[in-house]
Amino acid sequence: MTAGASVAASGLVPADPRAVERADAVVAGLGLPAGGVAVADPATGETVAHIPDDGVDEALAAVAAGDAAGRDWAATTPRRRAEVLHAWWESLVAHTEELAHLITREMGKPLAEARAEVKYGTDFVRFYAEEATRPGGGFRDAPDGGSSILVRRAPVGLAVLITPWNFPLAMATRKIAPAIAAGCAAVVKPATLTPLTTIYAVQLAVAAGVPQDLVRIVTTSSASAFSEAVLVDPRVRKVSFTGSTGVGRRLLELAARNVLRSSMELGGNAPLLVFDDADLERAVDGTFAAKMRNGGQSCIAANRIYVQDGIADEFVAALAEKFEKVKVGNGFGEGTGLGPLIDDRAVAQMRALTDDAVAKGATLRTGGGDHDGDGHFFPPTLLDHLPTSADAASTEIFGPIAAVQRFANEAEGLARANDTEFGLAGYVFTESLDRALDVADRLQTGLVGINQGVPSNAAAPFGGIKQSGMGREGSAEGLEEYQSVRFYNIARRARR
């Protein structure tokens, strides 16, 4: 490693043993097998549990069970669906600590962030419990007066939901809750890196009244075999995937065979623009949140940070000071601000991006370096004057590296922000309302955070454009992704 000081194992915040014991008690109650696919704690590398390594037969059995359960569920009333979702939400909230401890144990994020994820994840369940009783539709006369048009919504059918590892509760509830609200069954394939939280959440759902086979979980070491089997099954009518653009393209190819309704939340390369007139403290705090939430392991993490020349020096100095105060360590440690990355590959990528940037002329302001000891740790790293030739200038970083580039004027900043095939999230920091709205309108992204670093909300439509995907999650638009629109043309007496 050519840049920065090493992160010594002795400098890491240690875990609270009582918190680890509490997490392991929840794991023990899941009833998992003794063998199968190992789930490891990224802070220590130790195996936490094993999950079944389901094959194609088990996946198709889940499809069959879900199809049967879904036919009955589609006939239930919106009120019934809402009541079940409310009961699930109440159970999830009551088990906040168990869920948060599971998230930290299998994913590594600090316990405070895990609790925030539980709040975010449960918000989707509550939102769709409320939205279930407000089904869309309409009634209107045809323009020629010869008929009336009745528009109704129906469940789209059995949905296959494929979730990522970085938010194991929120990414599951964001898909499962609208499916249940719309009247659909679901087969859920969580990431094998972090399946435990999703398994526990679905167990709570069944205990709260969700029919046993309405939501089936399939865990497997072969994601491709799973997808190639279930997405061509005629009983499946919907697929929702969160993950890389490359995998999303392959899933869309499979979905095309049976013309499945598809929602794809794919790769991001979020630009963040800080203009000269920005409030410095708010811009630094917002950038820190947009970059460091979940250790930068988020599809909407600020990736390409563009700072206008007039404020850049102050901004970088203030952000460096904030980075240097972050405590790195076990997510169960007191005061930990940054936990481990998910695996060794993620750490290797951070090292490579940092080394490449420094070799090509970037200034390392803080961070970089190796970690001595167990776990997958990498420190908060700030690079300034990042050249456009550096890999970090175009690669989705997905880790705790903030790479700052400078720009002279609004036109240049916007042009560079939009110079990517991706279009998920963007950020704008300015004290001018006109500039904020104008720049937001011209950013080629599906969502924009204006003077804030965490724009996601259960009541808002989340999703991207260009190579970042299609469809929306959250909000009323998210419910529509699980519904088919039908209309009845009713003959009427001719009007004079």
**Residues involved in catalysis:** 265, 299
Whether the Cβ atoms of residue 158 and residue 215 lie closer than 8 Å to each other? no
Angle at 201 between CA 300 and CA 18, to 5 degrees: 90
CA-to-CA distance for 376 and 44, rounded, in angstroms? 8
Phi, psi values for residue 237, rounded to 5°: -125, 0
Sign of the torsion formed by the C-alpha atoms of 381, 415, 455 and 301: negative
| Three state DSSP letters for 39-93 | EECCCCCCEEEEECCCCHHHHHHHHHHHHHHHHHHHCCCHHHHHHHHHHHHHHHH
SS3 at position 9: helix
| Separation of alpha carbons 44 and 37, rounded Å | 17
- Helix 56-74 with 223-230: angle, nearest 10 deg: 50
End-to-end Cα spacing for the chain:
84
Residue among 297, 299, 295, 323 nearest 404 (CA): 323
